Homo-oligomer: A and B are copies of this chain.
């Protein structure tokens, strides 16, 4: 009995070690995690995009921009919007242009800095967004309905840790 279990233990031990950093160049677990994250966000994003278009005839990027402005009643500079949305400056320029044309958003010069422009929701924009936000919130609850509060909490924490990990990794290589 003893000698048989020794071999088995050895095998198990190697398997366990192999999972971590013993196999150079094998990053199976991280790769699959990334693909799964991507699948989840693609599914959700696609669904939200479709619903926003069908119910409110608006695109997802425009909705996202309005959502940023709704959280900042005094308005934001274009650069601040760009950072918060994590998209390029030029991208925001174009989106704002179209939202201004629709009367949902307005620009005004910064009194302090003549380079900067502030953007904020118009009254109409705020009214329109209010309805969309309510629906959007309901959709989110619907899509995540299969997770109980504890699972949502766990996911929040693990994603927070993921975010820190990614940010640390990108900081490090930025400096090289």
A residues whose Cβ falls under 8 Å from a Cβ of B: 19-20, 25-27, 29-34, 36-47, 86, 134, 136-138, 140-147, 149, 151-156, 158-170, 173
Contact = CB atoms under 8 A, between A and B. Distances in A.
Contacts of A153: 29
Count of identical protomers in the assembly: 2
Q: Is the interface of A mostly helix, strand, loop or mixed?
A: helix
Contacts of A155: 33, 37, 155, 158-159, 162
A149 to B, nearest CB: 6
A142 to B, nearest CB: 5
B154 A158 contact: yes
Nearest to A45: B38
Given A19-B149, A43-B167, 14 more contacts: A25-B134, A29-B153, A29-B156, A30-B152, A36-B156, A36-B159, A36-B160, A37-B41, A38-B41, A39-B163, A41-B41, A47-B170, A144-B166, A147-B162
A67 B38 CA distance: 14
A37, A40, A162 — most chain B CB neighbours (10 Å): A162
Counting from the closest, the 6 A-B pairs by CB-CB distance are: A146-B165, A27-B141, A30-B140, A27-B137, A30-B144, A41-B41
